[in-house]
Structure 1
Amino acid sequence: MGAVADTLRRKLEEAFSPTRLELVDDSDRHHGHAGHSGAGESHFTLRIESAAFAGQPRVARQRLVMKALADELAGPVHALSIVATAPGEK
């Protein structure tokens, strides 16, 4: 992965101390779509598991992730698909 993915991963680890973190660069699948510059690292799929999400509804979890990654979502990242769970959830 590149610099953007490394930054996303670092920020997520700092903010949530995840027990699981999977980040996939899906940019190639969005060639020709809005926000695809051809440079890559614009579209991501995230699966994150953290105790920080326990007791939080899905939308609140997504907002927490989006807040942690606000700078990247305002810049190089056009789309981020988020699945955020607490340990023991599926």
Structure 2
Amino acid sequence: MKIKIIAIILLGTFIYSCSPKVVQTQAPKVDGVPLTPELAEGKVIFESKCAKCHDLYSPKDFNAEQWKPIMLSMQKKAKISDQEREKIYAYLTK
């Protein structure tokens, strides 16, 4: 009897682990507004690259003109390409 129960538990665990996972398909939102795919990519790059070394600033902490020199100075330190920098800048100044 114990063997049957263990076999059923193992079979259930196997079936559950092989079932498809649910993936979120909604666009990320900032301030309740959905982001475009480009802005969402900029947000992901910003959060992954910039958070490695320091706390993240809010995009509202600086205006578009203030973000330009910050982005240029941090590009080399964060090892991001020009395209990545532009995507981050677009996200920060949306």
> Between Structure 1 and Structure 2, which shows a larger proportion of helix residues?
2
Q: Higher Cα Rg: structure 1 or 2?
A: 2
TM-score strictly above 0.5: no
So what's the TM-score if we normalise by structure 2? Answer: 0.30
